[in-house]
Structure 1
Amino acid sequence: MLTIRHSACMTCGSEPARDSGGSVTLNADCTAVIASKLAPTGIADVLRFLLFAAALLLSACASQPPLPEHTPNLSLPLQLHIQRLQAEQRQDWVLVIQREGPGIRWSMMDLLGIPQARQKLVDGTWHADGLLPPNPEARELFAALLFALTPKDELHGNYPAAWQHGAQRSLPERWDVRYSQPMSFELNLPKGPKYQVTPLSGEAP
């Protein structure tokens, strides 16, 4: 039986274990020492942990793309051709936006019909739709398109910081939109990429 004994906490663990061929027992003083080493080190450490967790939460919230105060009145369903332009590279996608129950479903695919991203916007919150992995760039794009597609008379009520002059609309430090037609526009993000958006039907709804 393997037995670990010690007479005082101050020297717990200083004696070699003796093998007597069986179970393990611990002296009560040693158990107290082990427990004390596993316990929290104090209020200061707890406060540091809470501050760190709060900083992470604020960082995550700041990274989320802005959403309107209320869901804009959009003419749906809508099919858009999206061209992504960055560093002289171009990608083409098809985006279908449609109502589904209480929310709006966003489905993006490449020109071969392979799904690229799916999201549902319900009560001001994005939800994964299907088994596709998270796609932060697509969610940013969808939120920016919602901003660009918001009717002009609903803009200020949904995005108080936004402004529009003629064919240009902006949410400062986030998105810039330049319209050639109501449903055809260029969408710029401060750090890129740039998107060219046109309706697939060729007609504005």
Structure 2
Amino acid sequence: MKHLLTLACILLLTACAARTPLPATTPQLAQPLPMSLQVSTADGQDWLLVIQAEGEALRWSLFDPLGVPLARQSLAGGAWHNDGLLPPNPAARELFAALLFALTPDAQLAGSYADKGWRQGAEGRQLAPDWRIRYGAGQAIELSNATQQYRVRPLETQP
């Protein structure tokens, strides 16, 4: 029984340590802010993600189709901070960190993600621990890892 408890503790600590890295400094994104994006999950859920600049921080707000907030986080000083009264949403933080990497211009990758376990190839980018990023037509971005899969594209606005 002790061995099982020890193994469970080790697995829990390993899971906590395997977080998507954040940039050393907040990159200047190529797209103008605020940015509105549609996020689709592999199981058919659609969300709205708004990224805003607030001074040196980036504010990330994730909403369901009815406008109910699912997650609000600010990235400032190289760390996530809760924004508002919503409880922390670790899955959203992972998505935000991977998407920030995907949106970082090529010229800023080496400076922003030095020693963070990333690489870029013809098929897209990869970021530790196991994110794979592919760029599609119409500014679509596909992000996936062992447990999550997302398709992100600019929100279509109607006149």
2: distance between equivalents of 1:186 and 1:59?
26
For residues 1-16 of structure 1, the aligned pairs below 5 Å read none
Q: How many residues align?
A: 144
Ranges in structure 2 where 5+ consecutive residues have no aligned partner = 1-9
CA RMSD of aligned residues (A): 2.3
For residues 187-202 of structure 1, the aligned pairs below 5 Å read 187-189=143-145, 191-201=146-156
Q: 1:162 aligns with which of 101, 106, 118?
A: 118
Please state if 1:78 is matched with 2:32: no
Residue in 2 that maps onto 1:146: 100
Residue in 1 that maps onto 2:4: none
2: distance between equivalents of 1:130 and 1:156?
33
What is the DSSP-based 3-state SS (H/G/I as helix, E as strand, rest coil) of the residue aligned with 1:192? coil
The alpha-carbon deviation at position 128 of structure 1 amounts to 0.3
TM-score (norm 2): 0.81
What is the DSSP-based 3-state SS (H/G/I as helix, E as strand, rest coil) of the residue aligned with 1:112? coil
**Radius of gyration: which is bigger?**
1
1: distance between equivalents of 2:45 and 2:81?
25
The alpha-carbon deviation at position 178 of structure 1 amounts to 0.6
Residue in 2 that maps onto 1:129: 83
The alpha-carbon deviation at position 201 of structure 1 amounts to 3.9
What is the DSSP-based 3-state SS (H/G/I as helix, E as strand, rest coil) of the residue aligned with 1:76? coil
Q: 2:50 aligns with which of 76, 86, 96?
A: 96
2: distance between equivalents of 1:140 and 1:201?
24
**Identity in percent:** 51
Residue in 1 that maps onto 2:131: 175
TM-score (norm 1): 0.64
2: distance between equivalents of 1:105 and 1:152?
22
The letter for the 2-side match of 1:192 is T
The letter for the 1-side match of 2:41 is R
Q: Which runs of 4+ in 1 moved over 6 A?
A: none
Between 1 and 2, higher relative CO (CA 8 Å, sep ≥ 6) is seen in 2
2: distance between equivalents of 1:98 and 1:83?
20
The alpha-carbon deviation at position 100 of structure 1 amounts to 1.2
Ranges in structure 1 where 5+ consecutive residues have no aligned partner = 1-54
Work out whether residues 70 and 124 of structure 1, in 8 Å CA contact, stay in contact via their aligned partners in 2: yes
1: distance between equivalents of 2:62 and 2:108?
26
